[in-house]
Amino acid sequence: MRIFLIRHAQSMGNINIKIHETMPDHAIPLSKQGHIQAKQAGVILNQHLNTHELFPEKSIRLWTSPYRRTRETAQGIYKQAHSWIQDQKEHIMLCEQQFGLFDGIPKEQIAK
């Protein structure tokens, strides 16, 4: 078994931290650059798999968290490497630590 870990591409939260004040963390989308990065990740993964013959059959499972940015990253990867991907699964446990209402808010602003 081989495991490839790919973090989500650039999100709007990476560009503007204030987005957390108006949008729930799970709903933050990828940026325009993030969609390009997701596609590039798929191209690189596809090239790697085609070059190294790691699997006798094309049987990759693509796991994501339920966050919009990870779903959008997975879509970009799938578009480029779909011939290798047998299925996609989503799991709530694939989330980073969550801080509820304080998610994405700098420490110095939490008191406000």
**Separation CA 101–CA 72 (nearest Å):** 24
Contacts of 35 (CB under 8 A, 6+ apart): 9, 72, 76
Contacts of 63 (CB under 8 A, 6+ apart): 88, 89, 90, 91, 94
- Choosing from 21, 48, 82, 96, the catalytic residue is 96
Let me know if 96 is a catalytic residue.
yes
Residue 35: burial class (beta carbons within 10 Å; 0-12, 13-18, 19+): middle
- Choosing from 8, 48, 52, 53, the catalytic residue is 8
Let me know if 72 is a catalytic residue.
no
User: Which helix (H) or strand (E) element contains residue 58?
Assistant: none
Show which residues are catalytic.
8, 96
